[in-house]
């Protein structure tokens, strides 16, 4: 009979090999503060087009339908030919190759004179280079809160993800793109630890 310590060592080695051979997809929402219920924008950030006439703030009391709450993000772009963009990048090592599921709630504020709204999701390698994407999602202009869902396949060497919300305006006076954003969800594998009945229903759709 082998000593217990050897058995444990053998099991540990097998487990280590298994982990190396097949990295497990993370569970739960890969994003932080996807529902904006902290009342603050961080770790979301404006990554383009911020200015006196183009702002991103967290507002209350309106809330998207996918999860309970009282806050949402509001992108308000009233500058001509301007690419106001809000983004969040997940941490290093948070994603793996394979299906990536997304969900977000949108409600238009104003879309006028060439103002439009798009969402992009990027798969990045460990060095941060973009190696895959979900395509250009939109133009979105829902008059009432609407939940948009879908998926794409992250390619080999995917290490983490970025999702960005884009409210570009046209090159004409009076072009406006404003949008309320809430309940942003990115996940792989099994969705756990996410509050909200709608998100749980969404999870069941992908089982
Ligand atoms: Ca919210």
Quote the pTM value: 0.83
Centroid of ligand 1 to alpha carbon of 40 (angstroms) = 11
Question: Distance from the CA of 58 to the center of ligand 1, in angstroms?
Answer: 9
pLDDT score for 26:
62
At residue 10 the predicted structure's pLDDT band, cuts being 50, 70 and 90, is very low
- Residues linked to residue 160 through DSSP beta bridges, in sequence order: 124
DSSP for 12-52, written as a single string: HHHHHHHHHHSPPPP-S-SSSSTT-TTSS-TT-EEEE--BT
CA 85 – CA 42 distance, rounded (Å): 14
Mean pLDDT for 120-137 is 98
Both tokens of 125, joined, read 């390698």
Q: How far is the CA of 65 from the centre of ligand 1 (A)?
A: 9
Main-chain dihedrals φ then ψ at residue 192, nearest 5 degrees: -135, 160
Stretch (H or E) spanning 205: helix 197-205
CA–CA distance, 28 with 193 (Å, rounded to integer):
6
């Amino acid at each position: 009979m082998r000593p217990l310590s050897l058995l444990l060592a053998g099991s540990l080695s097998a487990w280590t090999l298994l982990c190396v051979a097949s990295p497990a997809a993370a569970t739960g929402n890969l994003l932080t503060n996807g529902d904006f219920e902290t009342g603050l924008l961080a770790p979301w950030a404006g990554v383009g087009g911020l200015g006196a006439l183009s702002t991103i703030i967290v507002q209350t009391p309106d809330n998207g339908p996918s999860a309970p709450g009282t806050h949402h993000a509001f992108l308000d772009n009233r500058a001509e030919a301007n690419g106001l963009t809000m983004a969040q990048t997940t941490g290093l090592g948070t994603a793996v190759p394979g299906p990536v599921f997304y969900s977000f709630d949108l409600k238009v504020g104003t879309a006028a004179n060439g103002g439009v709204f798009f969402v992009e999701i990027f798969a990045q390698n460990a060095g941060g280079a973009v190696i895959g994407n979900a395509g250009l999602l939109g133009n979105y202009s829902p008059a009432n809160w609407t939940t948009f869902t879908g998926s794409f396949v992250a390619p080999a060497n995917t290490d983490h993800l970025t999702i960005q919300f884009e409210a570009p305006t046209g090159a004409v006076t009076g072009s406006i793109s404003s949008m309320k954003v809430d309940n942003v969800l990115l996940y792989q594998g099994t969705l756990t630890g996410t509050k909200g009945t709608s998100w749980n229903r969404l999870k069941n759709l992908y089982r």
